[in-house]
Chains A and B, each alone.
Chain A
Amino acid sequence: DGGITQSPKYLFRKEGQNVTLSCEQNLNHDAMYWYRQDPGQGLRLIYYSQIVNDFQKGDIAEGYSVSREKKESFPLTVTSAQKNPTAFYLCASSIRGQVYEQYFGPGTRLTVT
């Protein structure tokens, strides 16, 4: 089955700790994205990558970092510098240049206390 996987589904961390969220896709897509979703708000773009070894900041990149060493993988690190890290994090992918046809993973719910 082709698709996007995110792990873990739920993640709990103490304040001050960095945490890395996994995103893997086997759709052979060049472009991958990370979004954050908070209650009552639309998805907000954190980082995106159009190709391996290249990525750009989205609207709310502060306190986050990413890497894109493989086409299939786009991990997101939530650092201790992120002021409000508790949220639902969604990874997506698309054919490069077809941002209008993104496919999403199941999401990771991160809770930081």
Chain B
Amino acid sequence: AAGVIQSPRHLIKEKRETATLKCYPIPRHDTVYWYQQGPGQDPQFLISFYEKMQSDKGSIPDRFSAQQFSDYHSELNMSSLELGDSALYFCASSSGLAGAGREYFGPGTRLTVL
């Protein structure tokens, strides 16, 4: 079965550079969630989109922005990268807002900021 696809899987950037992470949800899933997991930390919710509209917002820095496109894929744009942005970024997708249901997580993009 198709799973959530994230690209790239690994990304190395310098401080103050920009990065774009992409998430392709499971076919027919219309909701996307972004989480950030720092080294040795638990995943922290960043932002979510349902039907191309922002549905919830967590602790996402102002330097980050995200959107969901007409084909339901989502992109997380990160500017003025800092060392502390080094983390594993997970995307998850669900059919409708997860609620009592479940979301499916992608393998993550590991971002390293040097």
Do A and B truly interact? no
B-to-A contact residues, CB < 8 Å? none
